[in-house]
A and B are shown apart, each in its own frame.
Chain A
Amino acid sequence: MNTKPNILLVDDDELYLYLMQKTIHQISKELVVSTFTDGEQAVEYITKCTEEKVELPEVIFLDINMPFLDGWGFLNEFKKLKPKIINNINIYMVSSSMRDSDVKRASNFEELTGYVVKPVNKVQLAEIFKKIYHENW
Chain B
Amino acid sequence: MWKRVLRMFIGLYVPLFVLTLFLYYSQKAKQIENITERQIRANTLKKISFEEKCHSFLRNTHYWASLKYPKNFDPLVEHSSFLRSYLEFIEDVTFYDQFRFIDLEGKEFFRAERVGTDSIVISALQNKNYHPYVKSGLQLKKNQIYLSQISLNKENGKIEKPHKPVIRTVAPIFDAEQNQIGLLVINFKMKKILDQIKSKVEDKNVYLLDEDFRVISSSTIKEDLPYESGNENSTIAGILQTKLISHNRDSTFVENGHIWSQQSINLNRATFTFGSKSNLPTEIVTPSNWLLALEIPQKLVKAELQPVFESLLTFNIISIISLLTLCYIFQKNRIEKELFYKELESKNILLTRSKDQLEENNVMVNEMNNSLEIRNKQLSDFNYLISHNLRSPVTSMSVIVEMIQKEKNPEALHQLLPKLDQVAKSITNLTEDINDYVAILDTKEIKIVDIDLKELILEVKNEFTETLLDNTGFEVQLNLEAWDHISYSKFYLQSIVHNIISNAIKYKRDNVSSYIQFESVIENMQRVLYVRDNGIGLNLERHGENVFKLYKRFHRNISGKGMGLFLVKSQLEALNATITIDSKIGVGTTFKLIF
Q: Number of contacts between A and B (CB, 8 Å)?
A: 64
Q: Would you call A67 and B399 a contact (CB within 8 A)?
A: no
- For A69, what are the chain B residues with a Cβ–Cβ distance below 8 Å? 542-543
Verify A16–B392 contact, CB threshold 8 A. yes
A69 to B392, CA, bound (A): 19
Instruction: Tell me, rounded to whole Å, the shortest Cβ–Cβ distance linking B308 to chain A.
Output: 105
Q: Which of A16, A23, A70, A76 contacts B546 (CB 8 A)?
A: A70
Q: Mark B366-395, 1 if CB is under 8 A from A, else 0.
A: 000000000000000000100111011101
Nearest B residue to A18 via CB reads: B419
Which residues from A are CB-within-8-Å of B392? Answer: 13, 16, 96, 118
Q: Which residues, 76 to 97 on A, are CB-close (under 8 Å) to B?
A: 76, 95-97
- Partner of B403 from the list A22, A40, A76, A99 (CB cut-off 8 Å) is A22
* 8 Å CB interface, A1-55 against B: 13-16, 18-19, 22-23, 40
Q: Which of B102-110, B345-353, B458-466, B551-559 faces chain A?
A: B551-559
B196 at the interface (CB under 8 A from A): no
Bound Cα distance from A68 to B552, whole angstroms: 7
Chain A min CB distance to B578 (Å): 21
Verify A67–B562 contact, CB threshold 8 A.
yes
Q: Is B66 interfacial (CB-CB < 8 Å)?
A: no
The reply to whether A13 and B403 form a contact with Cβ atoms under 8 Å apart is: no
Asked whether any CB of chain A lies closer than 8 Å to the CB of B472, the reply is: no
Instruction: Point out the residue from A19, A67, A70, A97 that lies within 8 Å of B400, measured CB to CB.
Output: A19
A57 to B383, CA, bound (A): 34
If the complex has contacts A68-B553, A96-B392, A96-B395, are A15 and B422 also in contact, measured as CB distance less than 8 A? Answer: yes
A99 touching B384, Cβ below 8 Å: yes
Chain A residue nearest to B407 in the complex (CB)? A22
Judging by beta carbons under 8 Å apart, are B419 and A67 in contact? Answer: no
A65 within 8 A of B: yes
Total residues of chain B contacting the partner, CB 8 A: 27
When distances are taken between beta carbons in the complex, the residues of chain B under 8 Å from A65 are: 388-389, 551
Chain B residues contacting A119 (CB-CB under 8 Å) are: 395-396, 398-399
Output the least CB separation between B387 and chain A (Å): 5
Please pick, from A15, A70, A96, the residue contacting B387 in the complex, using a CB distance under 8 A.
A96
**A15-B419, A65-B551, A118-B395 given; A97·B384 CB < 8 A:** yes
Bound complex: CA A121 to CA B398 (Å): 11
Q: Which residues of the other chain, A, contact B542 by a CB distance below 8 angstroms?
A: 69, 73, 76
- Residue interface mask B197-219, A partner, CB < 8 A = 1: 00000000000000000000000
Residues of chain A with a CB closer than 8 A to B396's CB:
13, 15-16, 19, 119
Task: A91 to B240: give the CA distance in the assembly, Å.
Answer: 144
CB distance from B408 to the nearest CB of A (A): 14
Interface centre among A22, A76, A121, by most chain B C-beta atoms within 10 angstroms, is A22
- CA of A65 to CA of B395 in the docked complex: distance in angstroms? 16
B423 at the interface (CB under 8 A from A): yes
B556 contact set on A, CB distance < 8 A: 40, 68
Q: Which residues of the other chain, A, contact B398 by a CB distance below 8 angstroms?
A: 119
Closest-CB distance, B398 to chain A (whole angstroms): 7
With both chains docked as a complex, state the minimum distance between the C-beta of B555 and any C-beta of chain A, in angstroms.
Answer: 8
CA A99 – CA B553 in complex, angstroms?
Answer: 22
A19 touching B422 in the complex, CB below 8 Å, given contacts A68-B553, A68-B556, A70-B546: no
B385 to A: closest C-beta gap in Å: 10
Residue of B nearest to A14 (CB): B422
Q: How far is the CB of A46 from chain B (nearest CB, A)?
A: 16
- Residues of chain B contacted by A97 (CB below 8 angstroms): 384, 387-388, 391
Q: From A99, which residue of chain B is reached at the shortest CB distance?
A: B384
- Distance of A18 Cα from B419 Cα, bound (Å): 9
List of B residues within 8 angstroms of A99 by Cβ: 384, 387-388
A118 to B395, CA, bound (A): 7
Bound-state Cα–Cα, A13 to B555, Å: 18
- A68, B551: Cβ atoms under 8 Å? no
> Chain A residues with Cβ under 8 A from B384's Cβ?
97, 99
Distance of A9 from chain B, by nearest CB (Å): 13
7 contacts between A and B (CB under 8 A): A15-B419, A40-B556, A65-B388, A69-B542, A70-B546, A96-B388, A97-B388
Q: Which residues of B contact A (CB under 8 A)?
A: 384, 387-389, 391-393, 395-396, 398-400, 403, 419, 422-423, 426, 542-543, 546, 551-556, 562
9 interchain residue pairs of minimum CB distance: A67-B553, A119-B395, A96-B391, A96-B392, A15-B396, A97-B387, A97-B388, A96-B388, A19-B399
Given contacts A15-B419, A97-B388, 11 further A-B contacts (CB under 8 A): A15-B400, A19-B403, A67-B562, A70-B546, A73-B542, A73-B543, A96-B392, A97-B387, A97-B391, A99-B384, A118-B395
